[in-house]
Amino acid sequence: MKIFLYTRKIEAEYREAVIGFIDFLVRQGCSIFIHETLNGIIADSPWREQLTVIESAQNLDGMDLAVAIGGDGTVLELARYSGHWRIPIVGVNTGRLGFLSLIKMNAVKENFAQILNQEFDIEHRSFIEVMVNDEEVSSLPRALNEVAILGHPHNTMISVHAYVNDTFLATYWADGLMLASPTGSTAYSLSCGGPILSPEVNGFLITPIAPHNLNVRPLIIPMSQKVTFIPESREGKFMMSIDGQSHYISNGTKITMQRSGVELRLVRLKEEHFFDTIRNKMGWGFDQRN
């Protein structure tokens, strides 16, 4: 199996564990390819001569699996980096919460023994495609979590005119407005009071950010529909956040979002279930009195 390893940064406390993980994969007969961010790690690996450094995403063709070592942000970065190659991605969690990076480092060898034996399922997670003023902008990434329109500078109220399939929905007076995917329902949208969507739900979530008209609520719509946001404010400046990446826009800019033809193929072990993840990560049903 050809496996690509990706990370942002490895904390010192996980260094030996990552070296041991690489050792395990090589001993299992895997061909290991690494992103350049792992250069500092492989210097201490006895297998460093057998590891190939990937310098461009164009060299990912033919990979069987891509591994993000970090938190959910690292999974998002890897999803963007691997682009259209449709490589199954698995997250090894060295972060905190982790709704996408579910494998814990202290159980990584046992879990990957299952993966190497093909004992896993693939979840298909949709991306959001973004257009500006009805034009595709090649520099804009696809969103896996959400696209948010925010006032700039911060803490300024804005109005956002929202349309669904070119039909007027409402004008939101708020600190911002976002369109989230089911994957993003456990991210920024959740902190703004949005509901959690199961990954199998084929829907988008329109979530206001600190709304000033208090009668508006998060809204779920079919993912087959196109959504348009047009922001206005006295300052005339806005920040469009695509999975946390900032892009600045001006008054009246037309932001159109729809389901992308590209999907994230996320590896999930057979005994794992989304509801188990939600219950354990969020502490549902755990009573501090017990």
Contacts of 106 (CB under 8 A, 6+ apart): 17
| Cα→Cα distances 182→62, 80, 90, 188, Å | 29, 17, 18, 12
**Cα-Cα-Cα-Cα dihedral sign, residues 39, 78, 112, 55:** negative
Name which of 62, 64, 3 is nearest 35 in CA terms. Answer: 3
Asked if 231 and 250 count as a contact pair (C-beta separation under 8 A), the reply is no
H-type alpha helices, 34-184: 39-42, 72-82, 108-116
State the Cα–Cα distance between residues 18 and 161, nearest whole angstrom. 48
Point out the catalytic residue in the list 72, 121, 134, 243.
72
Residue position matching structure tokens 């590891």: 51
Catalytic annotation present for 276: no
Q: Which residues are identified as catalytic?
A: 72
